[in-house]
Structure 1
Amino acid sequence: MIKPRNMMLLGLVLLILSPLVLPSYQITLLNYIGLYALVVLGLVLLTGVGGMTSFGQAAFVGLGAYTTAYLTTTQQLPEWLAWTAGSPWIALVFGLLLTAVVALLLGALTLKLSGHYLPLGTIAWGISLYYLFGTLSSMGGHTGVSGLPSLQLFGISLDKGEKIFYLIWAAVTGAILISRNLLNSREGRAIRALKGGQLMAESMGVNTFRSKMAVFLISALFAGLSGWLYAHTQRFVNPTPFGLSMGIDYLFMALIGGVGSVWGALLGAGVLTMLKQWLQDLLPILLGSDGQYESIVFGLLIVFMMQRAPGGLWSLVIRLIPARYQADTRLVVNDAAADLPRRPLPAQGTLVLEAMNVTRRFGGLVANNKMNLQLHAGEVLALIGPNGAGKSTMFNQLSSVDTPTEGEVRFLGQSLKGKNSRAVASMGMSRTFQHVKLLPAMSALENVALGAHMRGNQGVISASLHLEREEEQRLLKEAKHQLERVGLGAYLYEEAGSLALGQQRILEIARALCADPCVLLLDEPAAGLRFQEKQALSDLIKKLKTEGIAILLVEHDMDFVMGLVDRIVVMEFGEKIAEGLPEEIQTNPAVLEAYLGGAE
């Protein structure tokens, strides 16, 4: 049996031998595939993983290309640039710096957009940069710049496709390693969490804007590097390859290969490049050379493929490869790794969470009106009421997802005014969601490890260079511990989306516990569960209570609540109508009238 790693080594050897055995034309195609793959790798991270669609990546390619064209061909550089002496390697540094600055500025403007506004924003600045390239007279306008020098490396002139081939594919290999390292890390999980919803990610302590900016910057740098290589491969630059049309082609490459896969980027770049070439060669013979038949046929083929393989060609390839030849992508957990530090829990009975006259208005609608409640360490408090009572709104005030119009919420003695859900999570409050918010394609282990995001501090650079392995093992060990703690230890490597609803709700609790909270907020945890699943959930909550965690649960299932909690707060029409022990609530006339439909 051939091991997956050996198959990868075999592919690398074939790549190294390619310039020695293939004709120049084929090497040229491979060079273009490598250049395109660099850009598409960035799109896989940005669009496939981060969920942000960009049509403007070609403009970043242009920034890298035009920067080196200017620095290497201008006869009289400004004094502050004269020291570069036309060096392409210094131009690479300048190109990446310029690309990073522009990406940061554009990201600050567009990444706060959502829905269809984000891709429209990328179209806008992509077109703007394209026309900027064409209007710069110093850069030859639409005619372009010629006479770029060939690259020199270790005294060897990379003036032919066969020579620069190795540099292009070394850059692609490096980008693949960086991408894979990043995705299999704490920062990578944060980026992947963006597709699961910003509310969920922020509640786990993820700075979603920072994660968006990080992946946007990386994708732009990959594109800028591709532009630099393109310029010194062609030794000529004009605006044509950096317009919206090419930006759309890059997206097509990602979709064709598999927008969620690093290897799909290579496959998509190769298939699209070769397919275009074959159509351009074949269709004029069959249909004549009077029309753009290749564009028509190409478009129809893409539509057909998107219908038959919406996950891209890589997903089809994976299905065809026997399981024994596929790499084992499961994360290995080192049980000998050091434990993460834990926060000290407040003493039993300590007041940890308090709502004081909390009122929330939405225009003329009063969703919460002068709500008061208290939660103590080691206590289970239920917030119940009929549908529309304002429970979820109150839950959002307590977790800083929303801000009270009047009144105040205090957590561990501190006011939560001006604090967002991420800040509150770092203080020791964790939560689940009424509608389960998991990343279904990720394993249970990875989903739970996301909850420990705040307990790590290694950044994007460390993750990309694979320097955060020690911390990563500590985070994974904690995630495994929490899964075992809630009874899901046998499902470490199962996809979260394949678990039953009851298991998914327990999985959310494990993720919340991974943040090491002293207060746990559960939003309708028993909704949709069968009797035995409710029993398992009840046993888990009782266990957490004995460990000293304060738990507030929002529920409307009276049977589930009564034998579980210490106290109950009942809401109706946004107001508290009763508070007390379960047996008191069961006989309260106001509760029976409002919640149970009236006393007999």
Structure 2
Amino acid sequence: MKRPLYLFIAAMAAVPLLPTPEYWITLANYVGLYALVALGLVLLTGVGGLTSFGQAAFVGLGAYTSAYLSTRYGLSPWFGLLAGVVITAAAALLIGMITMPLSGHYLPLGTIAWGLSLFFLFGNLDFLGRYDGINSIPEIPVFGYAIASGREMYGLIWLLVLLAVFAVQNLLNSRPGRAIRALKGRGVMAEAMGVDTTWMKIAIFVLAALLACLSGWLYAHMQRTVNPTPFGLNTGIEYLFMAVVGGAGHVWGALLGSTLLTLLKDQLQTVLPKLLGSNGNYEIVVFGVLMVLLLQRARDGVWAFVRKRFPAAPPAVAPDDAPVLVRRARHKAGTTVLEVDLARKMFGGLVAVNDMQFEVKAGEIVGLIGPNGAGKSTMFNLVTGLLPLTSGEIRFRVGNEMRRINGQSSRQIVRHGIARTFQHVKLIPDMSVLENVALGAHLRGLHGEIGGLAAAMVRGNRSEEQVLLFEARRQLERVGLGHLMYEEAGNLALGQQRILEIARALCCDPTLLLLDEPAAGLRYQEKQALAELLAKLRAEGMSVLIVEHDMDFVMNLVDRLVVMEFGTRISTGRPQEVRSDPAVLQAYLGGVD
């Protein structure tokens, strides 16, 4: 993939040096401006799964801020850029805090609402010239030289585009980038790994807005005039089309989509009036039909076809050696690690968990068994904070004291040392096995959330990445998946995906590991290997709470069993004791004679 990339950069650098017609230079400038906005939408919509129709309004904020300050007060366009960034960031932060928690169709409707609001605000403020806008905007000075011509603007626009591309690419191939990629439909898993998903959604919303602001700043000083027309809802929809057509999940898809749609619109506006006459906007109809056909044939965007032709090396490669992350101190064998005290969970009038009581000690494996619908997974979700308790308490040993953890969120609980897998596997299928596992080490990074984003974009996190990827490699080799670390996770068999989840949970450095049906889908030899791994973890002082339906696997592995039926504990004890309990035989193991 590097050779086509270098050829692309060389070709773009040669364009203004060749006798290229000015019209094509102008088109290339618009492609670059559109690509900046589409790049933000790749980050926000394609990767983060958050649909926005209002990005054109942020373009307007950047354009109007610099235009107003440079014409009204004679300030430098560079100061206008700084002011635009500050105003756009503040507006995006406020809007993001309101709209990003929305889900389903409410989120895109919310972005339409604020997009329209800003558009009409531009057109109704007297000091912004209302719908006539602002004229006589000065050129951008660079080292005392004013950039006036289209060829000169071309160099500045595409320099900033390439810098933005590499910054976003660096971000996505990093610890916070893995958290961003986990947002799309996998928020529960991301929270369980310690990711603050609400903050991360707001962060990428602000980043996308800032890229749009940069585009608006360039647009204002290239056109030398601004009015509200280019910042309306229709333009916002076109920006989203560019990201989707190019490949909403791919950074370089933003450039490809911007190029294709800009050239297509230009050709339709030239050709169709000659064929059908100038009465009517036929290009809009044809453009819409072509977009539908394209999306039917290439739902992942055109860039997906390019990737197949030029396969890329894995974006994340684990080093052969790196400093080992500091491990959490293990509890003394036999001390109580987890206490579930009269835990009750009600959904309306349905009692899903009925005054459950049990404990898990350091260095033991406890099995939680029962018929389907007994409430086992609900009990797991109560321990890990995915569900709130109706009554009762759950306490976990942090250091030398037992602390109440019910009422805390998943990301707070995992900080204490509780990690889990899921009954239905939750992973990022188009990301490598290595990166999926590295997501488990999210809380063990060296940078904070804001510092992590900034460091990632300028590759200031290279040492952190080496340490986290090496940890992920260690855990994969530990569970027997080291030979598959660069395979896409979605290509693994179900049993291998379950083992991947265990490796990801181990990356959290837990003292209590919760496994929800880990042996489901495994072959006999794989189950034997899993049992050996869990026995090794127990010997190291790890506590394990496991839900499993394979009785042979459970009986030969666990130290104690807790049996549930209809949300209630009906038996507890060693496997041989539970096996002969009449209540268990009646409820779970086939009944009594």
Preserved CA contact (<8 Å) 1:196 1:439: no
- Aligned match of 2:64: 66
- Runs of 4+ in structure 1 over 4 Å off: none
Match for 2:550 among 544, 553, 557? 557
Code of the residue aligned with 1:460 in structure 2: it is L
Answering whether residue 341 of structure 2 is matched by residue 356 of structure 1, we say yes
CA deviation map 1:430-484 (0-9, x unaligned): 0000000000000000000000000003210011111010011000000000000
The corresponding residue for 2:24 is: 26
C-alpha contact 1:434 1:524 (8 A) present in aligned 2: yes
Query: Which residue type is aligned with residue 506 of structure 1?
Result: I
Where do 1:154-165 residues align within 5 Å? 154-165=143-154
Q: TM (normalized to structure 1)? A: 0.96
1:477-492 to structure 2, matched below 5 A, reads 477-492=470-485
1:200 equivalent in alignment to 2:185: no
Inter-partner Cα distance in structure 2 for 1:122 and 1:259 = 18
Question: Residues 355 and 410 of structure 1 are in contact (CA less than 8 Å); yes or no, is this contact kept in structure 2?
Answer: yes
Aligned to 1:240: 229
Letter of the 2:190 partner, please give it: A
Cα distance in structure 2, aligned partners of 1:5 and 1:582: 58
Supply the AA of the counterpart residue of 2:176: E
Match of 1:566 in 2: 559
- CA shift, 1:402, in A, is 1.4
The residue type paired with residue 375 of structure 1 is V
Q: 1:36 aligns with which of 12, 34, 40?
A: 34
Q: Residue 141 of structure 2 is aligned with which of 152, 159, 171?
A: 152
Q: Distance in 2 between matches of 1:404 and 1:327?
A: 47
Contact 2:272 2:283 in 1 (8 A): yes
Match of 1:16 among 13, 18, 23: 13
Q: Does residue 338 of the first structure (1) align with residue 323 of the second (2)?
A: yes
Aligned pair 1:347/2:347, yes or no? Answer: no
Partner of 2:537: 544
Q: Match for 1:580 among 573, 577, 593?
A: 573
1:46 maps to 44
2:354 to 348, 365, 369: 369
AA at the equivalent of 1:197: R
Aligned to 1:397: 382
**TM-score normalised over the length of structure 2:** 0.97
Instruction: Please state if 1:111 is matched with 2:100.
Output: yes
Q: Residues 384 and 555 of structure 1 are in contact (CA less than 8 Å); yes or no, is this contact kept in structure 2?
A: yes
1:319 to partner: Cα distance: 2.3
Q: How far, CA to CA, are the matches of 1:499 and 1:5 in structure 2?
A: 27
Which sections of structure 1, spanning at least 5 residues, go unmatched? 78-84
Alpha-carbon shift at residue 549 of structure 1 (Å): 0.7
2:582 is the alignment partner of 1:589: yes
Q: Deviations over 1:265-287 (max 9, x none)?
A: 00000000000000110111111
Question: 3-state DSSP class of the match of 1:528?
Answer: coil
What are the Cα deviations for residues 546-600 of structure 1, in whole angstroms up to 9, with x where unaligned? 2221000112332221111110000111110000111111111000111124112
Residue 386 (1) aligns with residue 371 (2):
yes
The 8 Å contact of residues 202 and 422 in structure 1, kept in 2 or not, is answered as yes
The residue identity in structure 2 corresponding to 1:580 is G
From 500, 506, 516, give the equivalent of 1:513. Answer: 506
Q: Which residue of 2 aligns with 1:599?
A: 592
1:472 aligns with 2:469: no
Does the CA contact (< 8 Å) of 2:364 and 2:544 recur in 1? yes
Partners of 1:389 and 1:572 within 8 A in 2:
yes
State the percentage of identical aligned residues. 59
Preserved CA contact (<8 Å) 1:346 1:377: yes
* 1:535 alignment partner, one of 525, 528, 540: 528
Shift of 1:332: 2.4
Q: What SS is found at the alignment partner of 1:414?
A: strand
> How far, CA to CA, are the matches of 1:400 and 1:318 in structure 2?
40
Q: Distance in 1 between matches of 2:66 and 2:547?
A: 60
Aligned to 2:88: 99
Q: Which has the larger displacement, 550-559 or 213-222?
A: 550-559
SS in 2 for 1:146: coil
One-letter identity of the residue aligned with 1:8: L
Looking at structure 1, the residues matched to 315 and 211 of structure 2 have their Cα atoms a distance apart, in angstroms, of 27
Aligned to 1:174: 163
Partners of 2:323 and 2:534 in 1: CA distance = 27
Cα offset, 1:6, TM superposition:
4.4
| Secondary structure at the counterpart of residue 375 of structure 1 | strand
The one-letter code matched in structure 1 to 2:529 is: A
Q: Give 3-state SS (helix, strand or coil) of 2:253's partner.
A: helix
Query: Could you report, residue by residue, the CA deviation over 1:16-39 in whole angstroms, capped at 9, with x for unpaired residues?
Result: 221122111000000000000000
Q: Supply the AA of the counterpart residue of 2:477.
A: E
TM-superposition CA deviations, 1:66-90 (whole Å, max 9, x none): 101110112xx5xxxxxxx421110
Deviations 1:286-318 (A, max 9, x none): 111112111111111111111111111111122
SS at match of 2:50: coil
Q: Which residue of 2 aligns with 1:310?
A: 299
Q: Which moved more, 1:23-32 or 1:357-366?
A: 357-366
What residue identity is the alignment partner of 2:420?
A: R
Q: Which moved more, 1:484-493 or 1:549-558?
A: 549-558
Change (3 A) 1:522 1:240: same
Residue 288 to residue 229, structure 1, CA distance change in 2 (3 Å): same
Partner of 1:522: 515
Q: Is the 8 A contact 1:196 1:437 kept in 2?
A: no
Greater Cα shift, 88-97 or 283-292: 283-292
Contact 1:196/1:438 (8 A) holds in 2: no
SS of the aligned residue for 2:132 comes to coil
**CA distance in structure 1 between the partners assigned to 2:564 and 2:549 by the alignment:** 10
What residue is the counterpart of 1:187 in the other structure? 176
Q: Which amino acid aligns with 1:131?
A: F
Q: Which amino acid aligns with 1:341?
A: V
Q: Does the alignment pair 1:453 with 2:438?
A: no
Which position in structure 2 is the counterpart of 1:82? Answer: none
SS of aligned partner of 2:569:
strand
Do the aligned residues in 1 keep the contact of 2:314 with 2:486 (CA within 8 Å)? no
Instruction: Name the CA shift for 1:391/1:6 in 2 (closer, same or farther; >3 Å).
Output: closer
Count of residues in Structure 1 that have an aligned counterpart in Structure 2: 584
